[in-house]
Structure 1
Amino acid sequence: MPTITTIDGVEIFYKDWGSGQPIVFSHGWPLSADDWDAQMMFFVNQGFRVIAHDRRGHGRSSQVSDGHDMDHYADDLAALTEKLDLKNVIHVGHSTGGGEVVHYIARHGETRVEKAAILSAVPPLMVKTDANPGGLPKDVFDGFQAQLAAGRSEFYHAVAAGPFYGYNRPGAKPSDPVIRNWWRQGMMGGAKAHYDGIVAFSQTDFTEDLKKITVPVLVMHGDDDQIVPYADSAPLSAKLLKNGTLKTYKGFPHGMPTTHAETINADLLAFFRT
């Protein structure tokens, strides 16, 4: 399997298909590069080079004990882009991956970056604080960690079968294969990485990162997102960005790149080509 090795000895698995301008995809918690199948297949057929990696501790990458924080996530992404010598890159991040993309660009600069898109993404800050009164209480995320530690197999199935794809909404038609694929990806990774990752995606404040970014960023979010609530995320991120564009999807769930791939892919393509 193709991998790179980070400076702290972690093997990061990646996929690299096609040729042309590179698009690098950063996945959500607790998934893997496989969650981007619908996007990678679409964009490789549109003439782009598509690359996606498994975050440390996730998927096929090393299940290390430490380094499950946004600094390491961003540095691992930087190591990948440098190893492959990618230039004029379009970065696309979903959920936790959106935070990874934002932190990477702010931390490592825009020399290799042309544009970015963040989908259902965690910035600016998920947890409730005095400065972020619209956030979710910390005990929500403490509960996630407790459920993971008690039995992540059942926890992961419940997330996929319920709020992640909006399958718990009246009239929804759950897809068992989609639920099973989410569960499969989650169970491939390491429980310790996923446990620590909950703190990384919920407590990292990306406010200053967003302010630093000057490249065009498309902020895409469904207003029925039950994982990363819309009001305290996308509109705030778009305002903090110097060159941000907000696109809101009525009724779309957190997992909209899968459930509404045709719409999401078309809007991404239009943004990439402008």
Structure 2
Amino acid sequence: MSTEVSAHPPGQAPTFTTRDGVEIYYKDWGNKTAPVVFFSHGWPLDSDNWENQMFFLSNAGYRTVAHDRRGHGRSSQPWFGNDMDTYASDLDQLFTHLKLTDGVMVGHSTGGGEVARFTSRYGGHGRVKKAALVSSVTPFLLQTPGNPAGTPLSVFDGFRAAMVQNRAQFFLDVPTGPFFGFNRPNATVSQGLIDSWWSQGMAAGFVNAYECIKAFSETDFTEDLKKMDIPVLVLHGSDDQIVPIQASALAAIKLLSQGTLKIIPGGPHALPNIYAAEVNSILLDFIKG
């Protein structure tokens, strides 16, 4: 199907349709003539998880864009295409649809992998000038003989089993515990953040969220990072219980030709939420620098 730019009807959320017939929801905030910052969300969330950063940067004079990945949030829920290559192709079509160039991409967790795959395959010709990988699954999350610091497959099998048994409870257990670091002693627990995570996760299609576990855990982004010949910020929390820093940020920085590593001491996986003000400041400095 065509990805030509066309105005959406007044009062309706902006969407576009991919070549394989999937409707993708996106947000497009701020001054449309300003430099663009594109956000890619983590599993099993949607673009709402970036609203603090989008609001901040839009008010700082930037155009901010974020999508709901296929099968997530307000996008349609296809039975097919729940893999990193297709996610990157969807972004390629969205960038064409919105005529985005010379932008900065920011990805959290699964979204960091999506940014790396997109940038390595479609980010040339002035499309992407910088990228930020926040609590990112890059370069390779799965434990293998060649990647002993990774997370065992049994952990991700456990995720899938928990989804099949009782997705609603599993999607409550994750934010109540390790995602935000609320299981740590003296943590300040926010029921609002837990409820928001749960509602975003439950909005995702079941098969889409289920298959995305394989996409974020078993995709090797090593070669993608090596091809990223642009400035890349690697931002991670030292107490990330979802994507441990040893196999992710500390490995990723060694593969990037123009990488900058920033670690937030004691930071959990959910840096954009728990350390929103600090993340906003770091991103703004990186974008302007």
Q: TM-score, normalised by structure 1?
A: 0.99
**Is the counterpart of residue 58 in structure 1 residue 78 in structure 2?**
no
Give the residue type in structure 1 aligned to 2:95: T
RMSD of aligned C-alpha atoms? Answer: 0.6
Return the match for 1:38 from 28, 52, 66.
52
Residues 230-249 of structure 1 correspond to what in structure 2 (within 5 A)?
A: 230-249=245-264
Match of 1:8 among 5, 15, 20: 20
What's the counterpart of residue 98 of structure 1? 112
Q: In structure 1, how many angstroms separate the alpha carbons of the residues matched to 2:171 and 2:271?
A: 18
What is the Cα deviation at residue 110 of structure 1?
A: 2.2
3-state secondary structure, aligned to 1:58: coil
Give the match for residue 24 of structure 1: 38
Among 203, 227, 230, the alignment partner of 2:242 is 227
Counterpart code for 1:269: L
The aligned residue for residue 256 of structure 1 is 271
Secondary structure class of the residue paired with 2:216: helix
1: CA distance between counterparts of 2:237 and 2:183? Answer: 16
Quick one: distance in 1 between partners of 2:139 and 2:102? 25
Alignment of 1:154-169 (within 5 A): 154-169=169-184
1:73 match: secondary structure: helix
What corresponds to 1:117 in structure 2?
Answer: 132
Alpha-carbon separation, structure 2, partners of 1:29 and 1:62? 16
Q: Which amino acid in the other structure matches residue 28 of structure 1?
A: G
Show the 5 A alignment for 1:88-237: 88-111=102-125, 112-237=127-252
Uncovered stretches (5+) of structure 2, i.e. residues with no partner:
1-12
CA distance in 2, matches of 1:114, 1:34: 24
Q: Is 2:77 aligned against 1:68?
A: no
Amino acid at match of 2:199: R
1:110/1:215 contact within 8 Å kept: no
Match of residue 3 from structure 2: none
The structural deviation recorded for 1:181 is 0.4
Unaligned runs of 5+ in 1: none
Q: Tell me the distance in 2 between the aligned counterparts of 1:25 and 1:110.
A: 18
Identity among equivalent pairs (%): 53
Which one-letter code corresponds to 2:73 in the other structure? Answer: G
* Whole-angstrom distance in 1 between the partners of 2:282 and 2:122: 27
Q: TM-score, normalised by structure 2?
A: 0.94
Give the 4+ runs in structure 1 shifted more than 2 A: none
Q: Secondary structure at the match of 1:15?
A: strand
Shift in Å, 1:107 = 1.4
Write the letter of the residue equivalent to 2:64: V
Aligned residues: 274
Are 1:156 and 1:183, in contact at CA under 8 Å, matched by a contact in 2?
A: yes
